Copies of this chain bind each other. A is one copy, B any other.
């Protein structure tokens, strides 16, 4: 799921500020915002695609609430369903055969829908919601903000020992730390929701097509089109798909059709580009950017006596046919020093998110690898300066 949670309105001096980000003009005094995962760095690729991805909508198009009333998810545009299935087949990251597709306003709305679908109004107690720490900080907010009697956030799945039904969200690769994950509670009364926002070849090797009961994906992290707010769920059980659709119906009467047909077009171009060799495909392009950023960041951090970054096993990617590194969307920076690193980095004009928000220690911070190039360069300069000043230790 997304890399944007509570706090978005706290950005000061962050970029981009508009939907067509202009060149940033950062000065030595500028605050660099690496708090959110706003994936605008993939924009140049889509610019290069020119007319292939251009969408034209006439004034009389898409006026009805309905898209296909023969489908359980009656507001899903059929061409989006088709594009999603084709892309998963090309990439090989998820099984789509005999699955119901439920479209959402981002995968954020779909997680809410899954909680609604997997809980029982008839139960006296709310179902427990857990995720292994460090977990995406948005889950807690989503589970708690309406004080629902249907579900209750119980935090870290690794220490969860309550009896009764539970829902475990498995985020793989994980936000914030990029780790490939499996469920950890593994009890009969458990239901699983796989948040696979980052299970795409630019972030991690695609080792097999996943085949879980509920799998969530988002357009934002697949192609970088965060502004469209399109996510999708692949759902095995018909009744769960029906209840997720009901959630969408009651909370927003469906999902923007303009965004759906745009996502269909762009996912279609992406899938087609992976099958033909005429030009660099999007996954190669985005992988090369992230790989280069990770190499530069690791080069800076290796000089430090206190900072470290997770190591990821290389694995054979079925999509590329090669052994590949993981290059996650976020860096999960750990420090040996027992300091609140979010505050400390802020003194150095770097906005990152404390490990505490993810159920971990404040010795960790999450850093977005998605910032505009100029901001990323300045971040590396500042981090180098913090490290170099003390021969590998850090200045305070």
Show the binding face of A for B, using Cβ within 8 Å. 2, 4-6, 8-9, 11, 14, 16-21, 36, 38-40, 42-44, 46-47, 49-50, 52-70, 72, 74, 77, 104-106, 108-109, 112, 116, 121, 138, 141-142, 145-150, 220, 224-230, 242, 245-247, 249-259, 262, 266, 269
Q: Are B150 and A227 in contact (CB under 8 A)?
A: no
> A19 and B67: CB pair below 8 A?
yes
Of the candidates B20, B39, B256, which one forms a contact with A61 in the assembled complex, judged by CB atoms under 8 Å apart? B20
Q: Is the CB of A108 within 8 A of B252?
A: yes
**Whole-angstrom distance between the Cβ of A179 and the nearest chain B Cβ:** 23
Question: Residue among A5, A18, A43 with the most chain B CB within 10 A?
Answer: A18
A296 to B256, CA, bound (A): 34
Asked whether A251 lies within 8 Å of B142 as measured between CB atoms, the reply is: yes
Chain B's nearest CB lies how many Å from the CB of A385?
A: 27
Pick the 10 closest A-B CB pairs, nearest first: A53-B59, A256-B256, A147-B149, A258-B258, A227-B257, A46-B59, A105-B252, A46-B60, A47-B60, A62-B227
Q: Count chain B CB atoms within 10 A of each CB in A17, A66, A147, A254 and give the residue with the most.
A: A66
Closest to A147 in B: B149
| B9 with A245: CB separation less than 8 A | yes
Of A4, A49, A146, most buried by chain B (CB within 10 Å of CB) is A146
Contact B227 A65 (CB under 8 A): yes
Q: State A312–B213 Cα separation when bound (angstroms).
A: 53
**Which B residues are CB-close (under 8 A) to A254?**
227, 229
Contacts of A224 in B (CB 8 A): 63
Partner of A252, one of B9, B227, B229: B229
Given contacts A42-B63, A49-B60, 16 further A-B contacts (CB under 8 A): A19-B63, A19-B64, A19-B67, A53-B58, A53-B59, A59-B266, A64-B226, A64-B227, A105-B252, A145-B251, A146-B148, A149-B149, A228-B256, A228-B257, A251-B251, A255-B256
